[in-house]
Amino acid sequence: MTILEEINRLDSNILLGGQARKSKATEVLDVIDPATEQKLGEIAETTTDEIDEAVEIAHAAQKKWWALSGLERSEIMHDVANRIHAMRPRLAEAMTREMGKPYKEAADEVDWCVSSIRYSAEVGRSDTGRVMGNAIEGHLNYTLKEPLGVVVSIQTFNYPLTLLSWQSGGALAAGNAVIAKPSEHTTFTTLIFAEAFEPLPAGLFQVISGAGPAGKYLVEHPDTNAIAFTGSVPTGQAIGATCGHMMKRALIEVSGNDPFIIMPSADLDITARAATFAAFMNCGQICVSAERFYVHEDIHDEFIAKMTENAKAIRIGNGLEKVDMGPMVSQKERTRYEGVLENALKQGANVVTGGGRPAEFNQGWFVEPTILSECNQSMDMFNNESFGPVAPICRISSFEEGIELANDSKYGLGANIYTRDLKEAVRATEQLQAGMVWVNAPLLDNDAGPFGGSKMSGSGRQLGPEGVEAFQETKFVMIDPDCTDTQDFWWFPYKDDESFKG
């Protein structure tokens, strides 16, 4: 079966209780290939009855999952990872067709799912609590790490499988059930991906399709126990507010406006390649894309010339061909991004290269990789996420100025610096206000290290031990194994000599 036939088979499907089935929804959304503008199919705005059913199924499956041993859960998760690995070409093609990224980037993304699920599987069985020094002689005091119950993972489109794997890997390893609500742009890819989770108890991993209404209903549902969200700030705020009201655990991963500082000691050939990649990978649609470049005046012009050379060499086109950059995900996103660019030009930015749509395409939501010079901190682009392939460059005269401007932001997701000066490198790691700092290593992740933002970029962490702990409840236990001692030091009756002396 070709991927297009598979997508056709999955039209209006949801995954409930281990079975893919057509939703009863009357409302559907079109899914469009962003490179060809051809309709791929329709997804359902899942009904509230179906969501209620999914939540009930999830609770029953979670009880079976938690009843297994830690070793059994881990082995089943490794089996899921093996299956994902075997599905690599199918998943990568589906992702490219649905959201536009080059096939190589999509295939890499599948590999990251495999390694992160393997990592979570092991963390899940390594520690399930902590024994502490007892408060009373002979007693046993410890914590138990227990699952929260049903975790809802609401996803965006840019890394539809990796981000879902990070969240659901952590949640499953902690003993929870997962209900995935993919982006409306990447639902078919997620439904295919879900086949890999068949070794889990039926209903432990389910997929609900739809847009905002399905997500909102899952968040507000009294029987969902935690929300893991990746997406925009307004949606993250709305989810955070609801979860706060309901005392529901929330992991919120939202926007960034990441700085990229370049100092004179950097190797400019390597830095220009790194900067080009950090700004334009996935058509700039990455939460940790480098979006504000601060380049030291001593190397400013030379750096721009080298980065421009790299940007001009980027091959644009359908992600299924030999290209480096695909289209933006949707017409709506391209229109929004073009508005951001137009505004930067009005505010005084100068186009060094790009700035428009590539002339050779009469269909598809393509844009050129764009470098802007003469930029400054007061521009909107330096205060809000661009989420498109643009690299605005601001000239700086010192390391201190670079750090100060980098930190002058409401966001704090990632931050980059290129330098070979040890002192600058160490000071940057200490002073940059961000969840992740990359010194000469832009945009890298490590399953064993935490990923997440500070300030308005979100709260909580994915990956690392923190990414499992995010989905655990801590229960404190105190035991007197003998049960023979009276605890006279604080029980009734209180001693007279301990009463108020007057």
Which residues participate in catalysis according to the annotation? 253, 287
Minimum CB separation from ligand NAD for residue 483, in Å? 49
Q: How many helices (H) and strands (E) does the chain have?
A: 15, 22
Residues 6+ apart with CB under 8 A from 139: 478, 479, 480, 481
What stretches of 182-285 adopt beta strand conformation (E)? Answer: 205-207, 226-230, 249-253, 258-262
- Least distance to ligand NAD from the beta carbon of 411, Å? 9
Nearest 5°: CA angle at 459, between 454 and 460? 110
> 221 or 300: whose CB is closer to ligand NAD?
221
Taking the complex as a whole, the smallest distance from the CB of residue 212 to ligand NAD amounts, in Å, to 3
Contacts of 407 (CB under 8 A, 6+ apart): 431, 432, 433
Size of the site for ligand NAD (CB under 6 A): 32
Torsions phi, psi for 186 (to 5 deg): -135, 35
Q: Which of 73, 97, 145, 181 binds ligand NAD (CB under 6 A)?
A: 181
Round to whole Å and give the CA distance between 398 and 382: 18
Q: Which two tokens stand for residue 483?
A: 């049960």
DSSP strand pairing (414-418 vs 436-439): parallel
Query: At closest approach, how far in Å is the CB of 385 from ligand NAD?
Result: 5
Question: Which CB sits closer to ligand NAD, 103 or 159?
Answer: 159
278 touches 260 (CB < 8 A): yes
Residue 442 or residue 453: which is nearer to ligand NAD going by CB?
Answer: 453
| Minimum distance, C-beta of residue 56 to ligand NAD, in the bound complex (Å) | 20
Q: Which of residues 416-475 bind ligand NAD (CB under 6 A)?
A: 453, 457-458
Shortest distance, position 438 Cβ to ligand NAD, whole Å: 15
Among 103, 157, 303, 418, binds ligand NAD (CB under 6 A): 157
188, 366, 387, 438: residue in contact with ligand NAD (rule CB under 6 A): 387
| CB of 29 vs ligand NAD, minimal distance in Å | 10
According to DSSP, the β-strands at 454-455 and 411-412 are antiparallel
Under rule CB under 6 A, which residues in 220-259 are in contact with ligand NAD? 230-232, 235, 238-239, 253-256
SS3 204: coil
Q: Please choose, out of 120-128, 176-184, 375-383, 441-449, the segment that lies near ligand NAD by the rule CB under 6 A.
A: 176-184
Q: Match 């029953």 to its residue by tokens.
A: 60
Ranges within 287-316 binding ligand NAD (CB under 6 A): 287
* Residue number, nearest CB to ligand NAD: 215
User: How far are the Cα atoms of 7, 132, 344, 369, 423 from residue 358, in angstroms, in the given order?
Assistant: 29, 63, 19, 9, 43
In order, the DSSP letters of 289-311 are: -EEEEEEETTTHHHHHHHHHHHH
Q: Does 154 bind ligand NAD (CB under 6 A)?
A: yes
Q: What angle do CA 178, 182, 188 make, to 5 degrees?
A: 110
- x/- map, 186-225, ligand NAD, by CB under 6 A: -------------------------xx--xx--x------
At its nearest, how many Å lie between ligand NAD and the CB of residue 67?
Answer: 31
Nearer to ligand NAD, 149 or 453 (CB): 453
Closest CA to 12 of 210, 201, 173, 155: 210
Among 12, 23, 96, 158, binds ligand NAD (CB under 6 A): 158
Q: Which is nearer to ligand NAD, 82 or 242 (CB)?
A: 242
Number of neighbouring beta carbons within 10 Å of residue 309: 14
Q: What are phi and psi of 318, to 5 degrees?
A: -60, 130
Out of 156, 162, 225, 416, the residue judged to bind ligand NAD by CB under 6 A:
156
Q: Report the residue from 50, 105, 184, 424 that binds ligand NAD according to the rule CB under 6 A.
A: 184
Contacts to ligand NAD by CB under 6 A: 154-159, 163, 181, 183-184, 211-212, 215-216, 219, 230-232, 235, 238-239, 253-256, 287, 385, 387, 413, 453, 457-458
